[in-house]
Structure 1
Amino acid sequence: METTCVHRDDRATYRAKERNLQMKDRIVQPTAKAMPEVTAQPPLHKVYRTISLAIVVSLAFVSSARGAALELYETGAPDLGTASAGRAAMASDASTAAANPAGMTLLDHSQLLTASGVLLPSTNFDVAPQTTTSGGGGGNAGVFFPLGSFFYVHKLSEKLRLGVAVFSDYGLGGDYGKTWVGRYYITEASLITGKINPSIAYEVSNWLSVGAGFNFGVGRLTFQSKINNALPRVPDGGLALESWDEAFGGNVGILLRPISKLRIGLTYQSPEDYKFGFRPHVTGLGPGLDFIRKKIDGVKANIPMTEPQQVMFSTVYEVLPNFSLMGNVGWQNWSAFGEFPVGISAKNQRSIEANLHFSDTCQIAIGQQLRIGEKWLWSAGFAYDSSPVSTANRIAVLPADRQLRYGTGVQYEINRDVTAGAAFEVMDAGPGPISNSRGPLAGTLQGHYSTNLLNFVALNIIWKF
């Protein structure tokens, strides 16, 4: 009996353990079957990954839009004919009010100069085989720009002059079209600026003059690019911004005349800080990327953009009574332009430090002026500016490489009080090789510019009072 009782207990214990194991199997088995349903969903993860990349791409235009500017010497004034050589020491007309205000003291009469013309660019991109996005080269991406300027110098006394200049010396634009290979980086961008510069000059002695001015500028920044919807049958979306802002700055200069045949000019132009604020405008997002709109809805970004400070040293030497040589050595602070904070305002305020890895640039220029008879003056010049950015950091919105300027012009004295002139300059902005990679949505963009020219044509007229 006792043995039988022990045997039954063992069987009961075994059956109880077996039931427990079966219950565990029922609990564990559904979970084991459910796990593949949670983890094995590559399409969903790809969508999330795509969304994250798209957000990065949509914000990456901040650096591209910031690059949409180039500091230009070409205001349409007669020094266009010397490719800006001798600019800070020429002091031969009212445009010195902007170039070097100290030079105003060399003008014997009050003087008005107006200039108008055009910028005719030729910018053609050759696509390299490493480019991963389909599309064309964008054709001529250069954008036609009108040129116009106004300079006035008033002779207040024998030693004191007042001046005012209205001109633009900062900006650029490009339009590659909607089907070019770099459309996920940029399709169109421009920065247009204009400034007014009142100034004053004083002749300290017969060999030294000093001058200073104050700048007030207004700028308009626009940018457009495409967004890759990552679905073959869904057309590209779009990203755009437009913003206006103003900036303040100043310039100072000195003019030395150690001997009667030599003029030496030195000028400093302060930086001018724009702060463009905008809300990104996104259109045409596909079903997988509409999350971007919700992510950036209500977000405002601030892009600071600085016209770099610069220093220019110029000389003009009268070799013969009818022949003069002139030259420049200059410096521009582009490294400061490349380092900036991007401010983003939403529910949480934050700032992102960015660096475009720009470098300071230098300029060397040489020119000449030859007087032909009593009425005609012929000018010619050449200038070299180093590249502000390397191949690895160059962006399509600012394709400038090293810059070579070739200028020529003529002036004709209609009478004692009126002189008319014309000038032409071509700026070769170099091959500008580009090698950008911004993830699978924007792709890799590589290539160079087979032509990268800016052609400036201007007419000017001078009135003496």
Structure 2
Amino acid sequence: MHKSFVRGGQLGILVGALASAPLMAGGLFMYEVANDNAGLANAGAAARAQNPGTLASNVAGMSYLPGTQIVGGLQLLHSNLEFTQDSNSNVPGRDSGTLMEWAPGGSLFVSHELDENWHVGFASYGDFGLAIDYENDWSGRYFTQNDALLGLTLQPSVAYRFNDQWSLGLGLRAMYAMLESQLAIDNTPLDLRNNPDGTMTYKSNDWGFGANLGVIYQPWQGTRIGLNYASEIELEFEDALSPEGLSPLINNGLQAAGIIGADTTLTMNVPQTLTLSLYHALNEQWAVLASANWQDWSRFGHVGVQIDSGNPVSATADANFKDTWHLSLGTQYQASKQLLWNLGVGYDSSPVSDEDRTFTMPLGSTWRFGTGLTYALDPQTDVNLSYALVWMGDMEIDQQKQLPRNDPKRVSGEIEDAWIQAVSVNATWRF
């Protein structure tokens, strides 16, 4: 009885929850990586080639950087993401609380000119993943409690400039990814007694590898067109599910099913992307910038789950993700010899439809508004302060799951006026 109860009910819930856990975090690529790109909302990112930060958006841009240059930056993310349940919810509990308070980040970009044709560089940055933290006693705790997927990219790169018009770049990308997911387990699914909830935690890390390939075409001085392709990166997380505070009924059932202590493998793919950008100087003071971007989220939406136990379980969760598109426009104004002003606006389509939005995937279409100032302290040193607001608006979520013995759980409500803001400070040194 215990074995069929767990495998038919709680195990299915665990598989579904773990499979979707990475999706929220990974479903958000951040163009803000602690460099001046934040102030342009990604406009012109693959064509600007103005400092080593181009390593994150088009490695071919290094061919326009003389000497040795270094960019180091720090960034803070802050959000207004709070779920409020409505009268359709039947799970007792409070609202979610703020899902993300403050999240720090940093980056380092280095480029070096070997000769008039060859450039090499190195980048360390994080543009993939996010972490959300719900209140322990919130109403949706049986769907998810805490989720975090953080990816750090290390990228050695090389660029070659054929002539005044064409440049090509290649970056080898190594991503170190960390995944942690936790959800509450209902210890009273049969309503026999009022037991406190238990928890189930999954925590793992992995290395994945890919490449960035970029090209820049400069038809004439002051105008550049850039195209960058970032390949897919496969990540495979492996760990055992860690239970805590389970009732004897649930614990014995999981033990009998071979779930506790069994290796659990999650397989996912960081999306491939393609970016086309334009940089055009109108005169010595004004420049216009634009970008169009495609991201392959439909493939990322399929997450493989395998539980290697006495009764192996293998499944693929389909989150109904769809590919996304990004468009952005921006401008730069050289107010003086020392001061440069950046301004940009961008739009990203949603990777999920409204009916497929879940608590592990509180995602929607986004508007980006960015601005920033770069000040030249001297010919060798610049400092930049940038701000970006990522606006998601209102996002309704209505999620249900059927527990055994006709014990359905439903949590419904809305994340209202959702936004994420990023503040970054960085400096460029030239030698």
Give the TM-score normalised by the residue count of structure 1. 0.87
Q: Does the 8 Å CA contact 1:213/1:250 hold for their aligned counterparts?
A: yes
2:65 to 82, 104, 107: 107
Q: Which one-letter code corresponds to 1:339 in the other structure? A: H
Q: List alignment gaps of at least 5 residues for structure 1.
A: 1-43
Alignment pair present for 1:301 and 2:272: no
CA-CA distance at 1:349 after TM superposition: 4.8
Residue in 1 aligned with 2:325? 362
Q: Does the 8 Å CA contact 2:20/2:319 hold for their aligned counterparts?
A: no
Please show how residues 116-265 of structure 1 align to structure 2 within 5 Å.
116-230=74-188, 231=191, 232-265=193-226
Residue in 2 aligned with 1:317? 280
CA-CA distance at 1:293 after TM superposition: 2.7
Q: Deviations over 1:136-181 (max 9, x none)?
A: 1111111422110000000000111001100011010111111111
Matched position secondary structure for 2:62 = helix
Q: Does the 8 Å CA contact 1:121/1:455 hold for their aligned counterparts?
A: yes
Please show how residues 283-298 of structure 1 align to structure 2 within 5 Å.
283-294=244-255, 295=257, 296-298=259-261
Q: Percent identity?
A: 29
Residue-pair matches, total: 421
Q: Does the 8 Å CA contact 2:15/2:305 hold for their aligned counterparts?
A: no
Matched position secondary structure for 1:429 = strand
Q: Which one-letter code corresponds to 1:91 in the other structure? A: A
RMSD: 1.8
Matched position secondary structure for 1:438 = strand
Residue in 1 aligned with 2:228? 267
Alignment pair present for 1:342 and 2:308: no
Q: Does the 8 Å CA contact 1:176/1:188 hold for their aligned counterparts?
A: yes
Q: Which one-letter code corresponds to 2:415 in the other structure? A: Y
CA-CA distance at 1:346 after TM superposition: 1.6
C-alpha distance in 2 between matches for 1:355 and 1:56: 14
Structure with greater strand share of residues: 2
Q: Which one-letter code corresponds to 1:277 in the other structure? A: E
Q: 1:155 to 1:351 in 2, by over 3 A?
A: same
Residue in 2 aligned with 1:4? none
Q: 1:117 to 1:313 in 2, by over 3 A?
A: same
Residue in 2 aligned with 1:56? 12
C-alpha distance in 1 between matches for 2:221 and 2:409: 61
C-alpha distance in 2 between matches for 1:257 and 1:112: 24
C-alpha distance in 1 between matches for 2:207 and 2:290: 33
Alignment pair present for 1:329 and 2:295: no
Please show how residues 3-18 of structure 1 align to structure 2 within 5 Å.
none
Residue in 2 aligned with 1:10? none
Matched position secondary structure for 1:414 = strand
Q: Does the 8 Å CA contact 1:181/1:445 hold for their aligned counterparts?
A: yes
C-alpha distance in 1 between matches for 2:232 and 2:411: 32
Q: Does the 8 Å CA contact 2:47/2:61 hold for their aligned counterparts?
A: yes
C-alpha distance in 2 between matches for 1:192 and 1:442: 33
Residue in 2 aligned with 1:452? 418
CA-CA distance at 1:351 after TM superposition: 2.7
Matched position secondary structure for 1:52 = helix
C-alpha distance in 2 between matches for 1:110 and 1:135: 56
Q: Which one-letter code corresponds to 2:13 in the other structure? A: V
Matched position secondary structure for 1:362 = strand
Q: Does the 8 Å CA contact 2:19/2:305 hold for their aligned counterparts?
A: no
